[in-house]
Homo-oligomer: A and B are copies of this chain.
């Protein structure tokens, strides 16, 4: 775990990259857990993939600017980036609202 997880600057967050990050079932599943705006650890995203694949999806979400990764010892806490939500309020709040409405935690 690099001590600096490379969160992109808010100015570098692009709409197409955000949507791309949303365009995958596993990542939507992860986001449906993050919808409550709280911090979560990896065990709570019960996606049926291996640890390295989960890291891959986490990286895409983080590099898109959607999530923030905070390290507590060896554990990682993930949450939504509120600044990005504020930067693209319509798109992202709408997406999260749709996720909650669709019960994406079981599809």
Contact residues in B for A56 (Cβ distance below 8 Å): none
CB pair A98–B102 under 8 Å, yes or no, is: no
A24 to B22, CA, bound (A): 12
Partner of A20, one of B23, B90, B107: B23
A90 to B101, CA, bound (A): 9
A76 at the interface (CB under 8 A from B): no
CB pair A97–B104 under 8 Å, yes or no, is: no
Chain A interfacial positions (CB closer than 8 Å to B): 14-17, 19-25, 28, 88, 90-95, 97-99, 101-102, 104, 107
7 chain-A/chain-B pairs, Cβ below 8 angstroms: A16-B24, A17-B23, A20-B20, A23-B23, A88-B98, A91-B97, A94-B94
